[in-house]
Amino acid sequence: MQQRGLVQEMKKTGIIGAMEEEVNQLKNIMEGVSSRKKAGMEFLEGTLEGRPCVVVRSGIGKVNGAVCTQILIDDYSVDLVVNTGVAGSLKAEINIGDMVISSDALQHDVDATGFGYDFGVIPRMETSVFQTEESLTALAVKVCKEVNPDIGVFPGRVVSGDQFISGREKKIWITEHFHGLCTEMEGGAIAQAAHLNNTPFLIIRAISDKADDSAHMDYGAFEAKAIEHTVKLVKALITAL
């Protein structure tokens, strides 16, 4: 299948950012924008790079991400959900400023081990690891390399939880149990909501810290550059869809 084949019939893309800084730049370049508020979130519908899009700030955390995804699907009939943001690296070779593109996503803070499940397994679901379509991941990686040649781009697992990971011990635990590339606070829940609605999703994470004892020092200094790379990727990806 050619890369365009996956998304040729997609009519509208929902773009979710966790924080205002992540979506402001996208809002500023949209055309024909109409605004509507629901569940404390502002949904901006218009065109981006000539394509129908809805841009919204979900707020931080898994519940916000999942609620936002459901509204995009129910109220705006999006057929692709793209979640942008920043994350902490879980791999030594993935440096601050690099980009991770989801191949799949899961939630590291799900713990039903008392019932005999492994960490991260959601009871009574057929899967707890939610897959991004391979051709969509490949397209995003290709586009990222083209528009951000100065950084590394890594396809792989995004691991999520309602925790800002800033300690070495917790980072090691997450890495050993889940083998992810980065950790953040929304993607796994957005992926689950999209999966339940049979809607494709893509998680884009710019690395802003190393998810260890230096996280509190790195985050502010590198966030702006991480967002800049993300916006470049999203604009180019929308054009390529």
**CATH 3.40.50.1580 for the 10-240 domain, yes or no:** yes
Q: Tens-of-pLDDT digits for all 241 residues of the chain?
A: 333 445 455 689 999 987 787 788 898 999 999 999 999 999 999 999 999 999 999 999 999 999 999 999 999 999 999 999 889 899 999 988 899 999 999 999 999 999 999 999 999 999 999 999 999 999 999 999 999 999 999 999 999 999 998 888 999 999 999 999 999 999 999 999 999 999 999 999 998 877 776 656 556 667 777 778 888 999 999 999 8
Q: How far is CA 133 from the centre of its chain?
A: 14
The pair phi, psi for residue 62, each rounded to 5°, is -70, -40
Please give the torsion angle defined by the CA atoms of residues 9, 154, 125 and 186, in that order, rounded to the nearest 10 degrees.
-90
To the query of whether residue 209 is one of the catalytic residues in this protein, the response is: yes
Between CA 94 and CA 229, with CA 173 as vertex, the angle to 5 degrees is 25
pLDDT of residue 209: 76
pLDDT of residue 218: 57
Q: Which is nearest to 62 in space by CA: 130, 163, 155? A: 163
Among 45, 184, 209, 212, the one annotated catalytic: 209
Q: Which residue has the tokens 């790195």?
A: 218
Among 22, 104, 186, 212, the one annotated catalytic: 22
Residue pLDDT, tens place only, 207-222: 887 777 665 655 666 7
